[in-house]
Amino acid sequence: MRRGEGVIDKLLMKLRARDEVSPAEEAALRDAIGKVQQVAADRTIIRAGELVDYSTLLIDGLMCRYKDLRSGTRQIAELHIAGDFVDLHSFSLKRLDHNIMALTPCTVATVPHTALTRITEEAPHLARLLWFSTNLDASIHREWVLSLGRRNALSRTAHLLCEMQARLAVVGLAEESGYRLDITQADLAECLGLTSVHVNRVLRELREGDIADFRKGEVRILDKAKLWRVAEFDPLYLQLEPRAL
Amino acid sequence: MRRGEGVIDKLLMKLRARDEVSPAEEAALRDAIGKVQQVAADRTIIRAGELVDYSTLLIDGLMCRYKDLRSGTRQIAELHIAGDFVDLHSFSLKRLDHNIMALTPCTVATVPHTALTRITEEAPHLARLLWFSTNLDASIHREWVLSLGRRNALSRTAHLLCEMQARLAVVGLAEESGYRLDITQADLAECLGLTSVHVNRVLRELREGDIADFRKGEVRILDKAKLWRVAEFDPLYLQLEPRAL
DNA sequence: CGCAATCTTGAATCATTTCAACATAAGTGG
DNA sequence: CCACTTATGTTGAAATGATTCAAGATTGCG
């Protein structure tokens, strides 16, 4: 992949699902991209508290933001897919409050904070698009707060399957009938605030109810209507409607 | 209160705890303020899905962002205090994913989105401060995700008491020894993903352990070290260190 | 003073965890 | 290519943290 080539394709799909991105803005984004690298599965690329002067765009693979407690239990705060900035917020937070880890082998690109500052100075509409992108992360966090606080294990699990379908579809990585989600039941448990044992039982329940089938990193949606109903899924929070920022 | 007078004081305290705000930026903020209004306790001022073309700055009182499920159970995603924009993110989301409600009688000011757009065009550093402010909300959401997913009821409750102490202190509304938090145990339960009955038991436990005493909307911190330990509270996520945005 | 909201406590129930054992799949080196 | 090891998935039974239901106490308010 040449510098900038292909690197921002998924990001552009994600942004253009929400608002227009002009050729000049596209060029500005491309210019902001620094080095492209591979990251091995299970590698934590940024640790909470670390000072960073660049953000990371995920080009391919799955990453997550996670926090842990002294006991060693871990909670994933967000799953990231191709086209997501995994830490665009480090631009204003400086020291991240969480760790960032690759769940699968990943390709990432770095974007220096100086380049982001320049965008806010010279390309305000593009800056608003990036601001939107961090606001979308926050919206996803809020939905997870609702899930963790008030949905039971079955509904919460179903909800995550809905969310990932919708988000992956935006960047062309999911069909109506299913998608690849190459993570373990233990990873899922860390997203859902459950134990992996219980996730296993819940997945069986979804399978036996002919609702959805998660196996070997592959999600099959057997009955979308039923899945949405169980999850009480309302995609409003994913902000899929076009707008003018 | 005259237009702009006093209205942005707490907001300025909040921002200046993190970065400098120039007199010109202060003036720009003041200019962005529209009408100032009172809101009665329990009133929901914005409903999920509504189109809005202004954001709301909380000047006095307590508000919250909440979502609910069909069953009627409600989850509060964030508590807001004086100086917080309760819905700055509506600037890029257009349709909010949650409701916003006053928990106590409140004073609020509206800020038209057109004024925010102008700030992004003409005052990029101020825009970055506002972006920071939404990123801080997201950071708070992530900590709540950790609480709801992995902390038990006692630790989660203690954590919320720590968070509110730290946030209120920034705007001069909390002492080391305690602060006013004029909400009911039922409201607390909606923040914590618990039932009000259980919150009541947990508060008793904190009281009997001489850790903290919440009563009649007043939090007394009896043993800060113990409270922080129980909560595993680390204020890093509140981004209290100064930075240059 | 009386009503409604809020707080408090006990007992039974339930969802999820924990512990433990075993099964299957995947990966590595001889 | 098989034997071995390790990671992941599966299931059952007992334990536990939080909920539910129900009743009574306290507080605030018109």
Give residue B198's identity as a one-letter amino acid code: H
**What digits encode the pLDDT tens for the residues A113-141?**
999 999 999 999 999 999 999 999 999 99
Q: Please tell me which residue, B1 or A234, carries the higher pLDDT value.
A: A234
Distance (Å) of CA B232 to CA A151, A190, B42, B140: 25, 19, 32, 15
Question: Under an 8 A CB cutoff, do B73 and A150 touch?
Answer: yes
Contacts of strand D, CB cut-off 7 Å?
Answer: A 184-186, 196-197, 200-201, 203-204, 215-216; B 152-154, 193-195, 197-198, 201, 216
Between the CA of A216 and the C1' of D2, what is the distance in angstroms? 25
pLDDT for A150-175, tens place per residue? 999 999 999 999 999 999 999 999 99
Residue A1 has pLDDT above 50, yes or no: no
> pLDDT tens digits for B19-76?
999 999 999 999 999 999 999 999 999 999 999 999 999 999 999 999 999 999 999 9
Query: In whole numbers, what is the pLDDT of chain A averaged over residues?
Result: 96
User: CA of B152 and C1' of D27: distance in angstroms?
Assistant: 30
Confidence of residue B6 (pLDDT cuts 50, 70, 90): confident
pLDDT band with cut points at 50, 70 and 90 for residue B94: confident
Closest partner residue to A145 (CB to CB) among B75, B232, B241 is B75
pLDDT computed for residue A94 by the predictor:
81
What token pair was written down for B211? 């850790």
Q: How confident is the model at residue B1, as a pLDDT?
A: 45
DSSP string, A140-203: HHHHHHHHHHHS-HHHHHHHHHHHHHHHHHHTT-EETTEEE----HHHHHHHHTS-HHHHHHHH
The residues near B91 (Cβ < 8 Å, ≥ 6 apart) are A131, B55, B113, B116
Compute the average pLDDT of residues A80-109.
96
Q: Cβ distance A58 to A80 under 8 Å?
A: yes
- Asked if the Cβ–Cβ distance from B142 to A243 is below 8 Å, we say no
| CA gap B56, B158 in Å, rounded | 29
pLDDT band at B153 (very low <50, low <70, confident <90, very high): very high
Task: Return d(Cα B83, Cα B86) in angstroms, integer.
Answer: 9
What is the share, in percent, of chain A residues with pLDDT greater than 90? 97
pLDDT value for A6: 83
**Closest alpha carbon to C1' of C5, residue:** B184
CA distance B20 to chain A (A): 14
B2: closest CA of chain A, how far (Å): 31
B122 in Cβ contact with B44 (< 8 Å): no
pLDDT digits (tens, 9 = 90+) for B175-185: 999 999 999 99
Q: For a pLDDT cut of 70, what percent of chain B falls above it?
A: 98
Nucleotides of C under 7 A from a protein CB: 5-11, 15-20, 25-26
**Which residues of chain A (139-168) touch nucleic strand C at CB < 7 A?**
152-154
How many angstroms separate the CA of B200 from the C1' of C11? 17
Buried (b) or exposed (e) across B2-21, using 16+ Cβ within 10 A? Answer: eebeebbebbbebbebbeeb
Q: Average pLDDT of B194-200?
A: 98
Partnered with residue A88 across adjacent β-strands are none
**What integer is the mean pLDDT of A89-100?**
95
Residue A5 has pLDDT above 80, yes or no: no
